[in-house]
Structure 1
Amino acid sequence: MPVDFLRVPPRVDVPHVSRPSILVWTLLLGLMVTGCVALAVFVWPARNADSVVFWFCAIGFPILAWSFLLCCRLAYLYGCLSAALATNKISDAIEAQCHESSSQPLAVLGNVWKFSSNEEENSLDALVDGMTKLRPVASQAVPNTDVIARWLDVPGRQFYSGNARTEHARQSELCEWLLNQMVDDIKSKLIRIPHQVSLGVDVCINSVIDSATVQEGLLARLRNVLHTTRIEVKSSKTELSLFHADSWFDNNRSDSVHLLVAVQLRNAASEILANGVSEGASMLLVSSPAIASRMGVSSPLCLHRPARGPSETTADVLKLAIRWGGGTFDNIGTSWRTGLSKEVARIIRSSCRFWHGMETVDLDAAVGKAGAAGVWLATALAAANAALTNEPQLVITQEGNDLLALVCEKQT
């Protein structure tokens, strides 16, 4: 369900209650007694000057009045203090409740990625060990020209440099191969989805292919695998923010599973690719822990709610993401970064006290800038590494002036 932090009442400043000034209140008592004595002497009839009432009005009344003022002053100060403490206590309780709700994870049922047609290069180990790097390769579009980029090849199929028509044919075959490969890799998880559970599919593809065609092909492949007939393929988009995962948490139901498909293709056969770019694709299958339990997953991978904030508050965003992930800076095993500016990367290094043994994988340097698939590649890889190492993984990305982060971990 949605978590509304706006319902948290703002905290108030707690007033400082100091001890009453002895000098001030002593002077006030003296002035009140002196004034009342003088008033009584001048006003009271001479024949009754020694009566009890006279002495009460001259001495007793000012002392009682002074005591009343002192009590009122103390009561007001302590009333303000109690009200502020009560307000802050309620605020902290509601905020803690919101954070607890935000800390409820989703189960990662399956995750697949493709950024290379070479299985060894596409492996997680090569990436974490630093063996996978962008290197100069001969351009597919222009012979005798090297580019520092990465693109995918369909095994057993070779495309030569050409025009937009050639590029469309290449990307069509490549997209079909990618979808077949990824659906096959995640097939064992898909067929275990209970019959009465619906599947919501988010498609994010950036290519020259008509997205509706890709959507139809994906739907046909899923229907061949799934037992459920309730499959909703949502409208395709060229890019989906990492914060889109927040909607999965808000709409988390015990009768639905979410599948995200992200594909980024480049015009590798018709244009010289810019240095640092790459092609890639990933799939992420998530559900509520209840569905994972019904599927027999005893120790599921967990995906936690993403945190978002201005890049100027980098440390706060990361602290929030790690808090929702139930960890600390000291137990993050690997951070997966993509799309970060140099300034934000510098802030992370200087202001966040990660433990010295934490690994850092810069996907932009290792795999390349995978555009629409980049952040979802990072998430799929982080989930896989969490399963392998049993250590929480932190995904960090930047979108415009916003920094986003989430934690993947394996429940034990």
Structure 2
Amino acid sequence: MEAGERKHILITFGRSFLTLNLARLLAAAGHRVSVADSLPIAVSRYSKAVTGFHRVSPPKYRPQEYCREIAGIVESEGIDMVIPIHEETDILSMMAGLFPPTCDLFLSDFETEDMLHNKLSFQEALQNMGIPTLKFASIAGPDDIAGLDFDTPFAVKQAYSRGSQRVYKAYPGDTLDQLTFDPTNPWIAQEWMEGDRYCTYSICRDGEMFAHAAYPVSYAIDGSSCLTFEQVEHPGIEAWVRDVVKRTKFTGHIGFDFIDHPERGLHTIEANPRATSGIMMFTPEDRIDRAFFGENEELITPPTGRVRMIGIGMALYGWRKDSLPGNSFRRFLRDFRAADDVIAEKGDMGPAIMLIPAYTNILRNSIKYRVGLAGGFMHDHEWDGHQI
């Protein structure tokens, strides 16, 4: 592919607002965009930015079929680049050999993707690189619980997990009887540290960072799934991400969750080697398509002073007291009116109009897989360490 030429790009996980916003950004830059999803009603399908929709198998339950179907779309549609959005990234990386050399599969090799996705192996990798980490320990079975030596509160979560799943706040001496064990997916106990919390999103190629966004955790569901996004300058975070991306020679998009402690400094909680909400902070004028192809020389960052929100999420959760420390209904109304919605966009209202049918599909997924609404949104695109 020549620099600057119009490309045909396939984005996965079409139900996601991240996919919708990325499709709009790429289409505004002149590229042709298609999307794929295992659900028939996906919000990005109804965007004017999208020229083609492909229904595919659920990657969690039919991974080989999914990868072959994506590779088939690449061949039949002349796709120049595939940009995976969620944890289907790991599955595609295992079967990258299916894709022709003419297609740019925007991800790293499986070993790198897996190391970053696995919350335990990621912390171990940071230690090996000499980067300070929060105190952590592996819990592979009941015997490991008795051996924990934390003297302060700590978080307990599975090595392969995501925001839709519960994180337990535990205390020294807790028996953790609620844990069940999967030999391919151990638990990690990780020091619970207070401080200013930030999330990031970066677009990288061959260990170089071409676009980067950082935003504080403000309105959020259960303190983790952010509902509003505003770019901030944090040189320490930018330098940290550059360093790790370079050392891992990472290609793809990636996000990190950070805590900045006033005395102990910056620590990362986990890595998300896939798209994160930071993609929704960029504007068409930023031309982030250049970052995916490694064409820009200066780092692309979103504009400051602009607040974006997931409007439906804010309406459902943002007014609650637990969505923001010190929240009030008056404050919520003020902030809701000041933010720009990431779904409804003038001249492209199809996705907003189709929200109710789309969420009806997701509700069916929730019932089918016996998970909550948040879990139903992503459950069939998750990967928990089971080899294909």
**Normalising by structure 1, what TM-score?**
0.25
Structure showing the higher helix proportion among its residues: 1
Q: Which has the larger radius of gyration?
A: 1
**Normalising by structure 2, what TM-score?**
0.26
